[in-house]
Amino acid sequence: MVNVVSDEDVLDSIRRQLLRSLHVARAAVTANLPFVSAEVDVAELPADATFREVFEYEVRRYTKRGSGLIITLDEAQNVNRDAMSTIASCVQLMIRERQNIAFVFAGVTTGVLDLLNNKSLTFLRRAKSW
């Protein structure tokens, strides 16, 4: 789970949280005895991986393990529209690939409606809302 608030650079925050979770996973080593077996998760990401590369890698990794990724964003009406568009496109691509991803955002009703009426965020408008 990745939790983000609108008063920070949301793309950077999501990327850093995903990389942190990736580094924890990379450090995990499993050994079973008396029959010796080991498992090491090695990331295939370059150090300067983009937001989209990190995002897609982690979503696929979670899905492959039978899990998924949920991103929560509070006060969505305050988020930079370009950042929201980037997140929405990445989520849409992962859904198209049938990856386990959820994006939950909340905010002031009028602000969220303005956000949803943005021409580049039509995917969010078609998503389920409660």
- Mean of pLDDT values over 104-110: 84
In angstroms, the CA 31 to CA 106 distance is 43
Read off the pTM: 0.74
The rounded distance, in Å, linking the Cα atoms of 57 and 109 is: 33
2-19+49-126, CATH topology level: Rossmann fold (3.40.50)
pLDDT tens per residue, range 40-56: 555 567 778 899 999 99
Q: Where are the domains of the chain?
A: 2-19+49-126
- Yes or no: say if 95 and 101 are a contact pair by the CB < 8 Å rule: yes
